[in-house]
Structure 1
Amino acid sequence: MENEQIKTIFEKEGITSEIQCPKAFEISEKYGVSKMEIARYCNKNNIKIRACQLGCFK
């Protein structure tokens, strides 16, 4: 998935500077975005992933 598509999803979901891990999982399922793509997008755009479960996001 393209960064612009993930950006649009995050804007739609109201995510600007941080995301809770369960919300990242929800977005992954809801929009068919891999957890790794979400992690890369967050790292690249300085979005903090909080309350991480099982170290899925770095």
Structure 2
Amino acid sequence: MNEAERIEEIKDMINKEAVDGVITCAVAHKIAKKKKTSVRKVGELVEELDIKIKECQLGCF
């Protein structure tokens, strides 16, 4: 799987987890861990998809 395919897979996961355009910080962390990528990268993709992050544990978002 190349990087572009991996990014699309992560975006799909984000979209599936988002409810009314919102995803929790805990879910963003879970996606990052599952896909073995940084939380920062997941955050960038969430922002790119115009999805908001709520209930942030560390103030990262």
TM-score (norm 1): 0.73
How many residues align? The count is 55
Q: How do residues 1-58 of structure 1 correspond to structure 2 at under 5 angstroms?
A: 1-2=3-4, 3-11=7-15, 14-16=16-18, 17-57=21-61
Ranges in structure 1 where 5+ consecutive residues have no aligned partner:
none
Do 2:14 and 2:46's aligned partners in 1 also have CA atoms closer than 8 Å?
no
Ranges in structure 2 where 5+ consecutive residues have no aligned partner:
none
Deviation of 1:44 after TM superposition, in Å, equals 1.2
Identity percentage over the alignment? 33
Do 2:28 and 2:39's aligned partners in 1 also have CA atoms closer than 8 Å?
yes
TM-score (norm 2): 0.70
Larger Rg, first or second structure (1 or 2)? 2
